Chains A and B, each alone.
Chain A
Amino acid sequence: GAVVSQHPSWVICKSGTSVKIECRSLDFQATTMFWYRQFPKQSLMLMATSNEGSKATYEQGVEKDKFLINHASLTLSTLTVTSAHPEDSSFYICSARGDRAYSPLHFGNGTRLTVT
């Protein structure tokens, strides 16, 4: 149980275009989802916390207008990288937590974004 599906697994796009990444909880309802960014050989950097039906909470230094997050249902959150630039190239990972206090985070398999 507790499967998180993330799509696409990799994407290549041109500078200036927008890319949408989907994160779905397949067998549980996720009241909260998280978006992380991971640079090569580094740990995860939390970008934002997404709550179903409300605005996302962004970490300091993360541009909310560039990284648009929508959590329209209890099983789906999307991250849209707008007007992508080469420096946005990275590995983006989503995670979801169930609705119990001790629910651990379950992660998607990540999306490798390359902006040319």
Chain B
Amino acid sequence: GEDVEQSLFLSVREGDSSVINCTYTDSSSTYLYWYKQEPGAGLQLLTYIFSNMDMKQDQRLTVLLNKKDKHLSLRIADTQTGDSAIYFCAEKGAQTSYDKVIFGPGTSLSVIP
């Protein structure tokens, strides 16, 4: 079945760039998403990218998609302590149920002051 994988932990210093990586198996993925979850809260949509795009930039966030390798990354420039959270990669594929979104396990980002 479809699967999404991420490294579980990432630690960076404040002011540096963070890069969170994600791989997925569904070659028919149509949309890929990045969500942020702060402790005790729901998920906040950060950004999403269509599968026919290679890159999307939104302020400090840059999403890169390598469809051939089924690899998605989220780069956070000038990482701040407020960026500490869990980041979930998610994908929606044409092969899955129309509404079903598959989530990765989440990457816990720690920002060191």
Binding site for B on A (CB under 8 A): 4, 6, 32, 34, 42-44, 46, 49, 91, 93, 95, 97, 102, 104-110, 112
B42 adjacent to A32 (CB under 8 Å): no
Cβ–Cβ contact B43 & A95, under 8 A: yes
The residue on B at minimum CB distance from A102 is: B31
In the bound complex, how far is the Cα of B99 from the Cα of A91, in angstroms?
22
Contact of A42 among B33, B41, B48, B105 (CB under 8 A): B105
Are A46's CB and B100's CB within 8 A?
A: yes
Q: Assuming A95-B43, A110-B41, is B33 touching A34 (CB within 8 A)?
A: no
Can you name 13 A-B residue pairings with CB atoms under 8 Å?
A: A42-B106, A43-B105, A43-B106, A93-B42, A95-B42, A97-B99, A104-B31, A105-B33, A105-B45, A105-B90, A107-B42, A107-B43, A110-B40
In this complex, how many residues of chain B approach chain A with their Cβ under 8 Å: the count is 22
Residues of chain A with a CB closer than 8 A to B106's CB: 42-43
Measured between beta carbons, the chain B residues less than 8 angstroms from A112 are 40
Known: A43-B105, A106-B45. 17 other contacts (CB 8 A): A4-B42, A32-B99, A42-B106, A43-B88, A43-B104, A43-B106, A46-B100, A49-B97, A49-B99, A93-B42, A95-B42, A95-B43, A102-B30, A102-B31, A104-B31, A105-B45, A105-B90
Contact A44/B31 with A95-B43, A107-B44 known, Cβ cut-off 8 Å: no
